[in-house]
Amino acid sequence: MEEFIVTIDGPAGSGKSTIAKIIAKKYKFTYLDTGAMYRMIALYALENNIDLEDKIAIKNMLDNTKLDIVENKFFLNGKDVSEEIRTPKVSAVVSPVAAIKEVRVKLVDLQREISKGKKTILDGRDIGTVVFPNADVKIYLVASPEERANRRLKEYKEKGVEADYESVLASIKERDFIDSTREESPLMKAEDAHEIDSSIMSIEEVVEEISKYIDKKIGA
């Protein structure tokens, strides 16, 4: 088997990356966290005070950012920013950055390039709809906003990042709104995606259901 693409799309905190990592390990697939790529650009914009309305500034920013991903570590112009891109300050600016067409064009190209000829599982918002509309298996993973806020809060606590439930919930709802109403590649379920609600299932159950779709496709 050569290229084999599994896509997991869904809103922030629905469990996409947790599930994708497990599936990647189980099937020896490459895992690509596309949200982290948008987060790297958002971090650069934040640190360099980039005006998101200024097309020339956006073009220069994209020309000046080199993204490398090595074993699930994220490097922005050679610097490991894997921790920094997960902070609430980056989460707060990433949705407007991801809504910019030029940013998406660059990152979608990179996503296709990285996955070319490989067995890959990618998670994001537009992977099954725009990046790989012919993917072998497509999943649309959802969960209630409250459940997702609790999960993010737990992640922040484990990392020692200060955050409170109300503001995490508000930030999740705001990102859902921007991500699903934007003009460029909004978050939506691909017609042929399997929808899974992770608020009513354990991680193992979600992995099992996705594995069934993969096994069926592989013919295992």
Binding residue (CB under 6 A) for ligand DC from 20, 23, 94, 206: 94
120 close to 7: Cβ distance less than 8 angstroms: no
Binding residue (CB under 6 A) for ligand DC from 5, 124, 139, 193: 124
- Does position 95 interact with ligand DC (CB under 6 A)? The reply is yes
State phi, psi for 191 to the nearest 5 degrees.
Answer: -55, -40
From the number of C-beta atoms within 10 Å of its C-beta (0-12, 13-18, 19+), residue 197 rates as: middle
Binding residue (CB under 6 A) for ligand DC from 4, 126, 153, 198: 126
Cβ at position 104, least distance to ligand DC in Å: 7
Q: Which is nearer to ligand DC, 35 or 58 (CB)?
A: 35
Spell out where 64-114 has E strands: 67-70, 73-76, 79-80
DSSP notation for 58-71: HHHHHHT--EEEET
How many residues are recorded in the chain?
Answer: 220
Site string for ligand DC, 33-52 (x = CB under 6 A): -xx--xx-------------
Binding residue (CB under 6 A) for ligand DC from 5, 6, 8, 12: 12
Instruction: List Cβ neighbours of 47 (8 Å cut-off, separation of 6 or more).
Output: none
Cβ at position 70, least distance to ligand DC in Å: 18
Cβ at position 189, least distance to ligand DC in Å: 14
Q: How far apart are CA 29 and CA 162, in angstroms?
A: 34
Q: Which is nearer to ligand DC, 43 or 124 (CB)?
A: 124
- Does position 7 interact with ligand DC (CB under 6 A)? The reply is no
DSSP annotation of 160 reads T
Q: Which is nearer to ligand DC, 106 or 125 (CB)?
A: 125
Closest residue by Cα to residue 35 from 78, 69, 80, 66: 69
- Does position 190 interact with ligand DC (CB under 6 A)? The reply is no
The site for ligand DC (CB under 6 A) is made up of 12, 34-35, 38-39, 94-95, 98, 124-127, 175, 179
